[in-house]
Amino acid sequence: MLKTFQVAPLGSELDDDIQHKIDFKTKPPGALGGLERIAFQVARIQRTLVPKLEKAQMLVFAADHGAVDKGISAFPQEVTPQMVANFLAGGAAVSVFCKQHNVPLKVVDVGVKVDMPDHPLLSKRKVAYASQDFSEQAALSLEQVNQALQAGADEVDACGEMDLLLFGEMGIGNTGVSSCMMSAITGTKPEDTAGRGTGLDDAGVSKKAQIIATSLQRAEQELNKPVGEWAPWEVATQVGGLEILAMSGAMLRSAELGKPFVVDGFICTVALLFASKLQQAVVDYAIFAHQSDEQAHKALLQHFDATPILKLDLRLGEGSGAILSYPIIKSAVSFFNEMASFESAGVSNAS
C-alpha cells in the first residue's frame, strides 16, 4: 500500500474578496495579465487577503536509473554525481540563479549510484543505488517507492516555515523515465512522450521510444492490464524513478501543509501527474513555472489546463525554470499587497 497524504481542496470563501482587491487596483481590469492569476492563486492557497512570500526554498532531488545502460540518454550515468557536485559547488545554472535571487538550495540524494561526500547543502536520504532497468524488470519495490515519497515529504518538513517551495531534479536518463511514467499513466504512445532530453538526435529519440515501449509491454504482461489502467503503485514500482517520486512526495506534503509550490519542467510535471493520482487536489497548490522544449510537456500542461509563467525553450531541468519564475511570482504578491487602490490613491475609476 502506498503512503497516504491528506490534501484539502482549496475553499472559495475568499474568492470574491480576492478578485475585488485585484480589480480595484489602479489599473484597467486584467491589465497585469498573468500576474493577476498568480496573485489570486497565492492568496487563495494561503487563505488571506495579505499573502506572504518572504521565505522560499529550492529542493533538487537526485537519483540514477538502471535503464540508462540501454541508451535512453546522450550522457553516461557518471554525470549524475558530477552534476550533484557541481550544484554543491555553486557552478550549476540553478545554483547561480538561486544565489542571484537569495533562495537557499538543498540537493537531496535519494538514489545516486555512488555515495556522495558530506556537504552542508546535501541531504542524504538514499533509498537505493539507482533503480533497476525497467526494460527487464520492475524498477522499484513498493517499499522503495514509499521511502522515496517519505523522503520528499520529510525534506519539506525540514524546510520549516517556508512560504514557497521550488522543486528540481537531477538524474541522467530521467526524461526517459518521465516519458515512460507519462505513457503508463495516460496511455499516450511512447513516440509521443519521448523527447530529446539532454540532446538526443532523431535516431536517439527513436531508440528511447523503443526502449520505453519494450518496458511498458514487459510491465503489461506482468500486471496483465494495459497502460492507462495501472494503479499508482503499479506505475511507481514498474517504471518509476526515485527522484521523481520524491518530488511527488514533496508536492503532496507541501499541499498537505497548505503551501504553494513551483513546478519546473517536464520531469517535475510528471511528478505532479503522479501526485495527482494519489490526491487530485494537489494540483490546486501548483504554480507552473514554464513550458519546456520537451515535446510532451505541452500536452501535459494542457492535461492540467495550466498556463505556465514562462516559455523560454528551456530543457535543462535542475529547477532552473522554477527559480527563473520566482521573481515574477514575488512581483505578483507585491502588487497585490502594495499597489494602491483607486480609492486609496484618489484616482477615478472607469465609468
Selecting among 36, 155, 256, 318, the annotated active-site residue is 318
Question: What Å distances lie between residue 15 and 44, 200, 281, 289, 340, CA to CA?
Answer: 7, 46, 17, 23, 20
Beta-bridge partner residues of 80? none
Do the beta carbons of residue 60 and residue 155 sit within 8 Å?
no
Q: Phi and psi of 61, rounded to 5°?
A: -95, 135
Residue 331 three-state SS: helix
User: Is 318 among the residues known to form the active site?
Assistant: yes
Question: What Å distances lie between residue 321 and 102, 195, 196, 296, 310, CA to CA?
Answer: 16, 18, 18, 16, 8
Q: Phi and psi of 83, rounded to 5°?
A: -75, -35
CB atoms within 10 A of CB 203: 8
Closest CA to 208 of 177, 239, 241, 238: 177
Positions annotated as catalytic residues are 318
